[in-house]
Structure 1
Amino acid sequence: MNWKFVFVGSLLACLTTSSIVRAETPASKTEADFVSLFDGETMKGWKIAEENPDSWVIEDGSLVCQGDRCHLFYVGDLAPFKNFHFKADVMTTPGSNSGIYFHTSYQPEGWPKQGYECQVNVSHKDPKKTSSLYNVENVADPGVKDNEWYTQEIIVEGRHIVLKVNGKTMVDYTEPENKQPESEQFARRLGEGTFALQAHDPKSKVMIRNLRVKKLAE
């Protein structure tokens, strides 16, 4: 037996195992720092807008929207949010449209005025596709398909917004200092607030699950 080769082989195996451990541990720790926003079974911590409340249901551990316009707002103990890292798993069906608002506030009806919207749209006719910072920095091709789960991330630190799909950065935007409200209808500026999920129209069915967030230092 050539003991030199045995020793080298054992050393390489140890180094490989060590590298795997080092690579996996930070990711596991990072995910463990996130706090769930949805228990998969009830609307606890969430409040449905007064218009068309039947547009939101829970199915198989997911929040599911299908129906006339209605927004679902997070009103749990973790709110409000300023600097944060948000993640959710999303699945669209063909031709559907939805959105994830942040830095917004509860409204009984209408499109949310406060904050920004992260678009949810793979094949709807609206050219602003999934992970667009709606009407601010738009995405034409998010690289995902209908009827398949993808992970949407929203990261806000100070005036900096990053939107990611399956780990790939789609939007990297820094809000100008002293940005004024865009219009009376939509502010589209940072401050602090909560998250809202959008039921857009009766032909749009979207599933959202595994919503979690990590607050970041201010």
Structure 2
Amino acid sequence: MLRQLLTRAGSLAAAMACLATSACAQEGTWTPLFDGQTLGGWTKAGSEDSHWVVKDGCIVGTGKASMLYSPKTYKNFRYRAELRINDHGNSGVYFRCPAPNGSFGEGYEAQVDSTHADPIRTGSLYTFIHIFDRLVEPDAWFTYEIECITKEFRGKTIPHITIWINGKKLYTFLDHTDAWKEGHFAFQQHDPGSRVEIRKVEVMELP
């Protein structure tokens, strides 16, 4: 009897481990959104005097204000980008953006700003959570990671947004306004004095 119980317990544990492994494999699939060679369907909106090019395996934004939008829209995801901003430069990593339109997009913006005149620094979720300490030096590569999931909280379904910089979790923000439900990813070219470079962009879609 004991042997049967142990066998059943072992089978159950193995089944649970298998399910967990399958779930992890399913949730752990990162899809690249930039091939290192072309803009591949990304769309610019904004000033004609703004430029988005691929150089040395990186997306480079310069010139006047504009946005660069992903081909597809996303709702629930984990999103990761490696980028750097010049000294006195300003940019933004946008998500859940509406259709491309204008020089400054709508949607959630994770700020990219080390030393710009705007004191709201990298790591901030613009208009919602503001960080004034410099977490990233100018001209230094860093990794932004963003998780955005709409799920229930106290009887209301709202976006839960978690931000990491270089693998360090900064915060989880619950947007009770439910401002943006789904949309594009986008990068911002803020002004002629700014230069943003992006060398890796990938997404893990979540249920």
TM-score normalised to structure 1 length: 0.75
Q: Sequence identity of aligned pairs in percent?
A: 35
Please give the secondary structure, in 2, of the residue aligned with 1:143.
Answer: coil
Q: Distance in 2 between matches of 1:146 and 1:165?
A: 14
Structure 1, unpaired ranges of 5+: 1-28, 181-188
Which residue in 2 is equivalent to 1:162? 162
Shift of 1:110: 3.1
Which residue in 2 is equivalent to 1:25? none
Which residue in 2 is equivalent to 1:87? 80
Q: Matches of residues 172-211 of structure 1 in structure 2 within 5 Å?
A: 172-176=172-176, 179=177, 189-211=179-201
TM-score normalised to structure 2 length: 0.79
Which residue in 1 is equivalent to 2:51? 55
Q: Matches of residues 112-191 of structure 1 in structure 2 within 5 Å?
A: 112-113=105-106, 115-158=107-150, 159-176=159-176, 179=177, 189-191=179-181
Does 2:200 align with 1:214? no
Which residue in 2 is equivalent to 1:108? 101
Structure 2, unpaired ranges of 5+: 1-24, 151-158
Contact 1:38 1:44 in 2 (8 A): yes
Please give the secondary structure, in 1, of the residue aligned with 2:193.
Answer: coil
Amino acid at match of 1:135: T
Please give the secondary structure, in 1, of the residue aligned with 2:69.
Answer: strand
CA shift digits 1:14-56 (9 cap, x unpaired): xxxxxxxxxxxxxxx7996210001111111201115226421
Amino acid at match of 2:168: K
Amino acid at match of 1:96: G
Change (3 A) 1:96 1:31: farther
Higher strand share: 2
Q: Distance in 2 between matches of 1:47 and 1:66?
A: 15
Amino acid at match of 1:69: A
Contact 2:46 2:103 in 1 (8 A): no
Shift of 1:190: 2.5
Shift of 1:156: 0.5
Q: Distance in 2 between matches of 1:174 and 1:54?
A: 34
Contact 2:63 2:192 in 1 (8 A): yes
CA shift digits 1:78-118 (9 cap, x unpaired): x22111000010111100000011000233323113x2111
